[in-house]
């Protein structure tokens, strides 16, 4: 057991300053695997599948109305108006349009997003070394999340394209089984991947904000708000902090990524258009349509995703490193120790 704890401290540079004083306490807590092991990454990927797949599917009705407001603002003038028109034309079942590609697509995205984030965080930390990892931790969060999202969007793109067609083109298709063959017949593989570049424009800034803002907000909450160290908080209290930090991060995520989200929605609806053409046509005002609905959706979504992801880590007894502290070696260099 002590050897596994030693491995945890070595593998996770963020935990290095606490090695000596937390070693005995860490040894008491039974982890199901070592930090940075294949099992650790696999279970993190599972957490990503559950957190993204379930939450995005749960808000399909709101996402449907948001997409329709973006592609047809003349008809869907607001969030409540959008719900009213959709219920009148399609009934309650109409609000669930696109649930299958949403669940499949965002489950695959979550697997890559969270799984690769943990991998890249360790890889980049090892490249930087202990002191630079602490000093440049925000940049590390940004780089690791951007790298992970690059691959996550490739996994998401086909299902996102099908979802938007189902939700925004009346009469095109009602199910994924109908939409996918029809799209392939009309445009080939390009129908599924023509939106990947705008997806990168939307999702990479979104994910960078999601992870970096979350990590730094958690750090700030434990430092300035929570009246006791994380090690003294119960698992439930820690998950409350996770939820609050996730919601704060989600609001910023929605604002940063909304213009690209508007472009993606219009692009996947139309044939032959490019991202630059759609952006030029929408204009500055047009790309911000549906922002309020997206702030509600993404804020709640991000908070729930982090809550579910952290809950999976707790359930499977995965190592959950505490907020970073300055390494002793750096304190000595800066003259902060006696």
pLDDT digits (tens, 9 = 90+) for 68-89: 887 888 899 888 899 999 999 9
pLDDT at 7: 44
Nearest in space to 62 (alpha carbons), one of 302, 305, 306, 294 = 294
Rounded to an integer, what is the distance from CA 21 to the centroid of its chain?
Answer: 33
Rounded to an integer, what is the distance from CA 227 to the centroid of its chain?
Answer: 28
Beta carbons of 264 and 198 less than 8 angstroms apart: yes
Beta carbons of 192 and 95 less than 8 angstroms apart: no
Residues 120-162 have pLDDT tens digits of: 999 999 999 999 999 999 999 999 999 999 999 999 999 999 9
Between helix 38-58 and helix 291-315 the angle, nearest 10°, is 140
Mean pLDDT (10-residue bins), the chain, 338 residues: 40 49 47 94 97 93 85 86 92 91 96 97 95 95 98 96 89 91 92 89 89 95 92 92 95 86 76 78 84 84 94 94 87 80
- Which CATH architecture group holds 35-326? Alpha/alpha barrel (1.50)
pLDDT at 13: 52
User: Around Cβ 38, how many Cβ atoms within 10 Å?
Assistant: 9
The span from the CA of 49 to the CA of 313, in Å, is 13
pLDDT at 22: 47
Q: Three-state SS for 170? A: coil
Phi/psi of residue 170, each to 5°?
-55, 130
Domain segments of the chain as ranges: 35-326
- DSSP class of residue 338 equals -
Predicted structure pTM score: 0.80
Beta carbons of 248 and 300 less than 8 angstroms apart: no
Phi/psi of residue 50, each to 5°?
-65, -45
- DSSP class of residue 32 equals S
pLDDT at 292: 85
Name every residue whose Cβ is closer than 8 Å to that of residue 240 and which is 6 or more positions away in sequence.
none
């Amino acid at each position: 057991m002590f050897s596994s704890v030693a491995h945890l401290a070595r593998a996770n540079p963020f935990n290095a300053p606490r090695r000596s004083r937390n070693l005995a306490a860490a040894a008491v807590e039974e982890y199901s695997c070592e930090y940075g092991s294949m099992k650790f990454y696999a279970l993190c990927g599972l957490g990503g599948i559950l957190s993204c797949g379930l939450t995005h599917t749960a808000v399909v009705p709101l996402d449907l109305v948001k997409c329709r407001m973006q592609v047809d603002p003349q008809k869907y003038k607001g969030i409540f108006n959008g719900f009213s028109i959709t219920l009148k034309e399609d009934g309650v079942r109409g609000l669930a349009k696109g649930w299958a590609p949403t669940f499949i697509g965002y489950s695959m995205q979550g697997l890559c997003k969270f799984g690769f984030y943990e991998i890249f965080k360790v890889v980049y930390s090892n490249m930087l070394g202990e002191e630079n990892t602490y000093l440049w931790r925000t940049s590390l969060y940004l780089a690791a999340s951007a790298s992970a999202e690059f691959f996550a969007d490739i996994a998401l793109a086909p299902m996102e394209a099908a979802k938007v067609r189902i939700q925004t083109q009346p009469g095109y298709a009602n199910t994924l089984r109908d939409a996918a063959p029809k799209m392939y017949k009309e445009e080939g593989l390009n129908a599924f991947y023509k939106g990947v570049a705008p997806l990168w424009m939307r999702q990479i800034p979104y994910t960078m904000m999601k992870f970096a803002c979350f990590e730094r907000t958690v750090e700030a909450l434990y430092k300035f708000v929570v009246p006791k160290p994380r090690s003294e908080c119960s698992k439930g209290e820690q998950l409350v902090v996770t939820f609050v930090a996730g919601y704060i991060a989600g609001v910023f995520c929605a604002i940063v990524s909304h213009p690209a989200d508007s472009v993606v929605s219009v692009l996947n609806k139309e044939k032959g258009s490019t991202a630059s053409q759609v952006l030029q046509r929408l204009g500055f005002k047009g790309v911000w349509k549906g922002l309020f609905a997206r702030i509600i959706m993404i804020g709640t979504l991000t908070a729930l995703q982090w809550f579910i992801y952290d809950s999976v880590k707790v359930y499977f007894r995965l190592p959950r490193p505490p907020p970073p502290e300055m390494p002793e070696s750096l304190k000595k260099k800066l003259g902060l120790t006696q």
